[in-house]
């Protein structure tokens, strides 16, 4: 035998009580995004590598060092998607959906990045994302940001900060980039090694550096908000006014830039202090240039992506969910009881109850013990006598009281079962 098999580095299994939190998040997302009339989209997990190198940008960390790229048997270069937006845009171009007015959609699924695994940072992780295509109205920015906040509030996640900035339009960013490079060049030797590389490749990303010395140098650097054109400035002010009108608070962070090249104007993150270094739960903004970059018609766009592992970790800190047991356990033993057990379980499930049927061949005492251990409220006990007469024993585990219920008539009365189980109408 070789080494025991393990999940690959940076990947993990999601199961047990944790899966309930994932389901709760997904249910809330469906509900809240549905009410704003966003449509779900599911795109492939792998795409042509070129989609990401063009759409995300060669100078980004993702494209330069984090992609899972491979050649398939037909000699195509494919990449496991590192994020969701590029695939969604590819799909909209392919199905000519940009010609059909404003489009709103959301997605949820696994993403893949070759990163150094640590708490809150994985190689396979999951994002929930939204996109609005075809509107440059600042209300679209406000709407998507508000939806992220509403979702988090509905899950009772507290202590979050909305950080807001504008990276301006392409021209603004070019002027700012030049000013930033001018300012930083004399300090080049003192910057951290990553920032030295970025000084020529992607200088805006230096603003993101966590290195204290680099941060100190940045203290007096030129600031993005001073380089906004009047149009970008007006847009930014309207986004802020809209958020305030909806009762959301935010903090302006002039150093906030997104890692992706296609962002314009609004950039934002929703951060927490509860997760250590991996502080961002949601990241997003406007990317008016992306659709055209990928070969579609010029189409303004705004959206965000939320890291589900980080959100679920926050929910776990508020207390774990408990896995509900079956409401009714069906125990059977002896000759001629097997088929009846199947039928009883089916009837009860048709009533809408959560039912587990024993298939262990254990003695009846052991079957009852399992029913109790799983937290069942009732155990249906089918022995040879019950099979012969159709009069079936139901034991209520909390009190030990037993009822005799006729099969099938007594197993088709939802009110009786609901009342006895104390769960009220379904
Ligand atoms: P970070 O600065 O933490 O690397 P990012 O800017 O790379 O984040 P985005 O590409 O904007 O992140 O992705 C949006 C969200 O997805 C992040 O805010 C985070 O919650 C989550 N996320 C990103 N990378 C990972 C990862 N490797 N593991 C788990 N979650 C991640
Ligand atoms: Mg990252």
How large a percentage of the chain has pLDDT more than 90? Answer: 87
Ligand 1 center to 32 CA (angstroms): 22
Q: What is the pTM of this model?
A: 0.94
- Our answer on whether the CB atom of 377 is closer than 6 Å to any ligand 1 atom is no
Q: How many Å lie between the centroid of ligand 2 and the Cα of residue 99? A: 33
Q: Over the stretch 220-242, which tens digit does the pLDDT of each residue have?
A: 999 999 999 999 999 999 999 99
Is the Cβ atom of 124 under 6 angstroms away from ligand 1? no
Whether 305 is in the pocket of ligand 1, judged by its Cβ within 6 Å, is: yes
Q: For tokens 């440059």, what's the residue?
A: 136
Q: Which run of H or E residues covers position 129?
A: strand 124-133
Residue 208 confidence class, pLDDT cut points 50, 70, 90: confident
Which residue has the CA at smallest separation from atom 25 of ligand 1? 121
Whole-number Å distance, alpha carbon 281 to ligand 2 midpoint, is 12
Secondary structure element (H or E) that encloses residue 68, with its range: strand 68-71
Across the beta sheet with 391-396, the strand order is 355-357, 328-332, 378-382, 391-396, 402-406
Which has the minimum average pLDDT: 280-289, 312-321, 388-397?
312-321
Note the pLDDT of residue 85. 96
* Stretch 294-309: mean pLDDT: 97
Q: Are 63 and 75 in contact (CB under 8 A)?
A: no
On the question of pLDDT at 16 being above 60, the answer is yes
Q: Please tell me the distance from the alpha carbon of residue 22 to that of residue 312, in angstroms, as a whole number.
A: 7
Rg (CA), the chain: 28
Q: Domain 328-421, CATH 3.40.50.800 — does that match?
A: yes
Between CA 422 and CA 370 the distance in angstroms is 21
Q: What is the pLDDT of residues 125-179, one digit of tens each?
A: 999 999 999 999 999 999 999 999 999 999 999 889 999 999 999 899 999 999 9
Nearest CA residue ID for atom 16, ligand 1 = 307
Q: What's the CA-to-centroid distance between 146 and ligand 1, angstroms? A: 20
CA-278 nearest atom, ligand 1: 3
Q: Cα(308) to centroid of ligand 1, in Å?
A: 10
Please determine, for residue 193, whether its predicted confidence score (pLDDT) is greater than 70.
yes
Which whole number is the average pLDDT over 307-319?
Answer: 95
Fold for 17-169+229-318, please state it: BirA Bifunctional Protein; domain 2 (3.30.930)
Dump pLDDT digits (tens) for 32-49.
999 999 999 999 999 999
- pLDDT tens, residue by residue, 74-106: 999 999 999 999 999 999 999 999 999 999 999
Least confident segment among 148-152, 260-264, 340-344: 260-264
The per-residue DSSP string of 233-244 comes to HHHHHHHHHHHH
Residue 123 CA to ligand 1 center (angstroms) comes to 11
pLDDT attached to residue 423: 78
Q: What pLDDT sits at residue 424?
A: 64
Q: Is the CB of 209 under 6 A from ligand 1?
A: no
Position 426 pLDDT exceeds 70 = no
Any ligand 1 atom below 6 A from CB of 82: no
Res 61 pLDDT > 90: no
The verdict on the CB of residue 309 being under 6 Å from ligand 1 is yes
Lowest mean pLDDT among 69-73, 162-166, 174-178, 244-248: 174-178
Q: How far is the CA of 359 from the centre of ligand 2 (A)?
A: 48
The domain limits of the chain are 17-169+229-318, 328-421
Is the bond into 193 cis (omega within 30 degrees of 0)?
no
pLDDT for residue 259 = 58
> Which of 337, 335, 355 has the alpha carbon at shortest distance from 345?
355
Cβ of 143 closer than 6 Å to ligand 1, yes or no, is no
In the predicted model, what is the mean pLDDT of residues 250-277?
Answer: 87
Q: How confident is the model at residue 250 (pLDDT cuts 50, 70, 90)?
A: very high
Average pLDDT over all residues of the chain: 94
Q: Over pLDDT 70: what percentage of the chain?
A: 98
> What residue's CA is closest to ligand 1, atom 6?
259
Q: How confident is the model at residue 205 (pLDDT cuts 50, 70, 90)?
A: confident
Q: Tell me the best of 125, 280, 312 to mutate to test the pocket of ligand 1, counting ligand atoms within 8 Å of each CB and taking the most.
A: 280
Residue 302's DSSP bridge partners are 132, 286
């Amino acid at each position: 035998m070789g080494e025991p098999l393990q999940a690959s580095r940076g990947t993990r299994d999601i199961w047990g009580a944790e899966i309930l939190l994932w389901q709760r998040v997904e249910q809330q997302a469906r509900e809240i995004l549905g009410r704003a009339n966003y449509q779900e989209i599911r795109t492939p997990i792998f795409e042509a590598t070129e989609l990401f190198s063009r759409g995300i940008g060669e100078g980004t960390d993702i494209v330069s060092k984090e992609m899972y790229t491979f050649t398939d048997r037909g000699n195509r270069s494919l990449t496991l998607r590192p994020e969701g937006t590029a695939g969604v845009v590819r799909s909209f171009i392919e199905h000519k959906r940009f010609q059909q007015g404003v489009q709103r959609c959301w997605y949820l699924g696994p993403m893949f990045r070759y990163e150094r695994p640590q708490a809150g940072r994985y190689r396979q992780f999951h994002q929930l994302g939204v996109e609005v295509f075809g509107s440059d109205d600042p209300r679209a920015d406000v709407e998507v940001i508000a939806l992220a906040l509403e979702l988090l509030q509905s899950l009772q996640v507290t202590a979050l900060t909305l950080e807001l900035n504008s990276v301006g339009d392409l021209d603004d960013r070019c002027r700012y980039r030049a000013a930033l490079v001018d300012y930083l060049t004399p300090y080049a030797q003192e910057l951290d090694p990553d920032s030295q590389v970025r000084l020529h490749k992607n200088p805006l990303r230096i603003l993101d550096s966590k290195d204290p010395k680099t941060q100190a140098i940045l203290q007096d650097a030129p600031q993005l908000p001073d380089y906004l054109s009047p149009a970008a400035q007006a847009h930014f002010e309207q986004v802020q006014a809209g958020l305030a009108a909806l009762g959301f608070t935010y903090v302006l962070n002039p150093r906030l830039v997104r890692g992706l090249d296609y962002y314009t104007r609004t950039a934002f993150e929703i951060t927490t202090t509860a997760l250590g270094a991996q502080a961002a739960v949601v990241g997003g903004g406007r990317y008016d240039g992306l659709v055209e970059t990928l070969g579609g018609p010029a189409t303004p766009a705004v959206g965000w992506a939320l890291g589900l592992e980080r959100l679920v970790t926050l929910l776990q800190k508020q207390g774990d969910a408990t896995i509900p047991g079956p409401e009714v356990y069906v125990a059977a033993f002896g000759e001629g009881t097997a088929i009846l057990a199947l039928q009883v379980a089916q009837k009860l499930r048709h009533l809408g109850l959560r039912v587990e049927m024993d298939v262990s061949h254990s003695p009846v005492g052991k079957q009852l013990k399992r029913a109790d251990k799983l937290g069942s409220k009732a155990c249906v006990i089918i022995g040879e006598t019950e099979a012969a007469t159709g009069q079936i024993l139901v034991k209520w585990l909390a009190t030990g009281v037993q009822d005799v219920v006729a099969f099938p008539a007594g197993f088709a009365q939802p009110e009786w079962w609901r009342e006895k189980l104390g769960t009220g109408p379904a």
